Structure 1
Amino acid sequence: MNKYTRKDLSELFNIGKETLRYYESINWIPNPIRNESGYRVYSEEDVLRIKFIVQMKNYGFSLREISNLIKIVSNEKCAHRDTLVDYIDNKITGVENEIKKLYQLIEILNKVKENKHLGECDFLKSLINNS
C-alpha cells in the first residue's frame, strides 16, 4: 500500500498543504498517521477521498454540498440509497436550471452582439434591454 506525504498530495492534486489541513479540520479526511519522523502520511483511501473532493469542486459543487455529500456516503459503508438518490436528483435539477440560465445568457449576448450600434451606446443598457 502506497503512503503519501502532504507534499505528495499537494503536488498530485495541485492544492495547498493548508487545504489538506483544512480538510482534516472539518473531517473530510481522517487525521493521518505520522511516520517515524513525525510527518503526516496519507493512505490510498485518503487519496481517493481527496480526489473526490477536488473533482466535486471542479464540477462546481459548493463546500456545503461537498460536506453534505461526504456525510451521506460516510455514515455507513454504503450510503442509504434513497437519501443519495434524492441528493443526486436535487443536484441534477440545479445543474439543469444553471444550463438554462447559461443558454439564456448566450441568447442575450448574441442579441447584444448583433446590435448595429454596439460600441456607440451604453453596453449595460443594451444588455438590459435585450434580457
Structure 2
Amino acid sequence: MKDIYNIGELVKELNINKETIRYYEKIGLLSEPKKDENGYRIYSKKDIEIIRFILIVKNLGFSLREISILMHDEILCGNIEDIKKIVESKINEVNEKINNLEETKKLLEKVKGTILSKNIEGCEDIEIYLKK
C-alpha cells in the first residue's frame, strides 16, 4: 500500500466516486486534505482507513450523522460500554423496522388473498374491509 494517494487512486482503491469523498470532507467526516505543489488533493493511508470505516458502518445501517458522532466523540476507540449502547440501539432500530415490514407484509397478504378474491368495487370497500 502506498503512502500518498490522489483522488483518482482513492476512488479506485475504495470503489466510490469523487463526489462521495468531497461530501465527506464537506460535512466533516474527512479532514480537508493536503494539496500537492500543483494544488491537487492528496490523501494518506489514514484517510483510506477512515473512509473504509465510514463505508462499513454505513453498510451496518448507521446514518452519516450517527457516524459523525461516533467519529468525533471517538466512541469506537473508547469505552466498550458506549459501543455496546450504540450497537444495542441500532439493533432495536432494526428490529422495529423488521416488525413494521412484517405488519406491512401481513396486510398485503390479506389484500392479495382475501380482498382481491371478493367482489370489492373500490377503495371505500377496501377501507371498510380492512377495519374489520
- Report the AA paired with residue 109 of structure 1: L
- What residue is the counterpart of 1:4 in the other structure? 5
Per-residue Cα deviation, 1:43-98 (whole angstroms, up to 9, x for no partner) = 222112212223333443222212122223369xx322222211111111111111
Contact 2:30 2:47 in 1 (8 A): yes
Gaps of at least 5 residues in structure 2 are none
- Report the AA paired with residue 50 of structure 1: I
- What residue is the counterpart of 2:99 in the other structure? 100
Secondary structure at the residue paired with 2:73? helix
- Report the AA paired with residue 20 of structure 2: T
- Tell me which structure has the larger Cα radius of gyration: 2
Gaps of at least 5 residues in structure 1 are none
Normalization by structure 1: what TM-score? Answer: 0.74
2: CA distance between counterparts of 1:110 and 1:32? 52
The percentage of aligned residue pairs carrying the same residue is: 35
Question: Aligned-pair RMSD on alpha carbons?
Answer: 3.1
Normalization by structure 2: what TM-score? Answer: 0.74
- Report the AA paired with residue 45 of structure 2: E
TM-superposed CA distance for 1:39, in Å, is 1.1
| In the alignment, structure 1 residue 122 sits paired with structure 2 residue 123 | yes
2: CA distance between counterparts of 1:99 and 1:119? 30
In the TM superposition, structure 1's runs of 4+ consecutive aligned residues that sit over 4 Å from their partners are none
- What residue is the counterpart of 2:50 in the other structure? 49
- Report the AA paired with residue 89 of structure 2: N
Alignment of 1:1-131 (within 5 A): 1-2=1-2, 3-11=4-12, 12-15=14-17, 17-73=18-74, 78-115=77-114, 116-117=117-118, 121-122=122-123, 125=126, 129=130
2: CA distance between counterparts of 1:44 and 1:123? 61
